[in-house]
Amino acid sequence: MIKQICRAWLIVLVIVSSWSVATMAQTSEAGAKLVVGYVEVEDDPRYEPIRTAERIILKAPHRPYAGAVVGIDDAAALVRVTRTTLVLERFTAAPGKAAEAIAKAAKERGVSLFLLDLPADEIRSATAVLKGTPALAFNVSASEDALRRELCAAEIVHVTPSHAMRADALLQHLVSRKWRDVVLLEGPEPGDAAEVAALQRSARKFGVRIVAHQKFKLGNDPRDRELNNPALLTAINRDYDVVIVADEGLEMARQLPFRTTRPRPIAGTTGLEAEAWHWTWDRSGGPQLNGRFQAKSGGQQMSSSDWAAWMAVKMISEALLRTGSSDIAVMKRHLIQSGTAPGGGFDGGKGLAVSVRAWDQQVRQPMLLATPLAIAAMAPVDGFLHQTNRLDTLGDDAAETPCRLDQRSR
């Protein structure tokens, strides 16, 4: 009788235990949800097709939303460990209304993590809304140096590389090849001026000589031939090694190869470009990431902004995993401190671990020097040294910027 009673209790315990395990599994599967808000604006001019005067499309930029989607898919495997599911929600605002969209998403949807696919002026407005809140935003597409230096917002991590990082990567490569004499051509757009300013700063930093700085004028007016003809623009008295062009519109840039006075390589907006990512990158898991992106995007080639959106989600998911907390302050602290810990940082698919600079919250990262169909080199280039982290030879080091977020709390 006693044996029968014990056997019955044992069966009950097994059933209860099985129910408890099943309940725990359901809870784990349901888990908590952490929403990541992808914020963009309608009619963003950065994604308008770049056309010639004859309406030929030279370039058709795309929004990096698919990169964020791939990041969410990659993070799905962490759900069983973190019991938190990352959910991506897309918020499209009217021009000038991105800050309002962010405020609404935070209030009505409880969103505290954002990917900002916004022009620089929209990011400035968004910062006013984010300031002093527990939210954390990741800039995935704006390269302006002023966002890192003057704006200097503690609520924003800049994943996309700055103009300064791109310029430093390019000029490191030129110096390593002993191509120090440069002709610099500047277009009429504000973005061209920003790129030129970064190149001039980088030239002083690495000892590159800008032997001529020419501002070109688009058009076919024969009266302006010295300003719109590639041969005449590059017909200077001094010899030079490279022509660097800053031309967002690509109209002059596309005409330069094989039309300069001297047979010289072209870099900058065309020819050799410094990028965060390139679709031909074939190391450190690059082909696999490119393949996942192409499958998700319908065959598009992965761009630097796509990589930045993917990397932002990856950093969020890994911070969630490593801290075991969805508290934004805890996750942010991990993001900032990971770069200083031995073996810290995040795998960005580019060989060297990426991490966040404490002083301006720019993601330090290797840069790819790419031609249209291949990777020519990677920066930082061998021989360019730093006392703590070679990646800090690219862009603003702590002593080179007015932004010192690491000292504000002292």
Q: Which of the four pLDDT bands, split at 50, 70 and 90, describes residue 118?
A: very high
Tell me what the mean pLDDT of segment 316-341 comes to. 89
Using the predicted structure, report yes or no on whether residue 227 has a pLDDT greater than 70: yes
Own/partner pairs, 377-380, CB within 8 angstroms, 24+ separation: 377/173, 377/176, 378/350, 378/351, 379/168, 379/169, 379/170, 379/172, 379/173, 379/274, 380/169, 380/172
Using the predicted structure, report yes or no on whether residue 20 has a pLDDT greater than 60: no
| Residue ranges of domains in the chain | 31-161+276-367, 165-274
Upper half-sphere CA count for residue 53 (Cβ side, 13 Å)? 5
pLDDT of res. 4 = 40
Q: Over the stretch 53-112, which tens digit does the pLDDT of each residue have? A: 778 999 999 999 999 999 999 998 887 788 889 999 999 999 999 999 999 999 999 999
Query: At the topology level of CATH, where does 31-161+276-367 sit?
Result: Rossmann fold (3.40.50)
What is the distance between the alpha carbons of residues 376 and 137, in angstroms, rounded to a whole number? 33
Average pLDDT value for the chain? 89
Q: Which of the four pLDDT bands, split at 50, 70 and 90, describes residue 26?
A: very low
Q: Over the stretch 348-367, which tens digit does the pLDDT of each residue have? A: 999 999 999 999 999 999 99
Tell me what the mean pLDDT of segment 301-327 comes to. 95
CA 264 to chain centre: 30
pLDDT of res. 387 = 87
What percent of the chain is modeled with pLDDT above 90?
79
What is the distance between the alpha carbons of residues 7 and 3, in angstroms, rounded to a whole number? 6
pLDDT of res. 2 = 41
The β-bridge relationship of strands 242-246 and 273-275 is unpaired
Q: Over the stretch 366-404, which tens digit does the pLDDT of each residue have? A: 999 999 999 999 999 999 988 889 999 999 999 999 999
What is the distance between the alpha carbons of residues 158 and 356, in angstroms, rounded to a whole number? 8
Query: Torsion angle of alpha carbons 94, 97, 98, 99, nearest 10°?
Result: -170
CA 192 to chain centre: 19
Q: Do domains 31-161+276-367 and 165-274 have the same CATH topology?
A: yes
Length of the chain: 410
What is the distance between the alpha carbons of residues 198 and 116, in angstroms, rounded to a whole number? 23
Using the predicted structure, report yes or no on whether residue 223 has a pLDDT greater than 90: no
Q: Over the stretch 161-177, which tens digit does the pLDDT of each residue have? A: 999 999 999 999 999 99
pLDDT of res. 342 = 61
Q: Identify the CATH homologous superfamily for domain 165-274.
A: Response regulator (3.40.50.2300)
Tell me what the mean pLDDT of segment 9-22 comes to. 28
pLDDT of res. 408 = 75
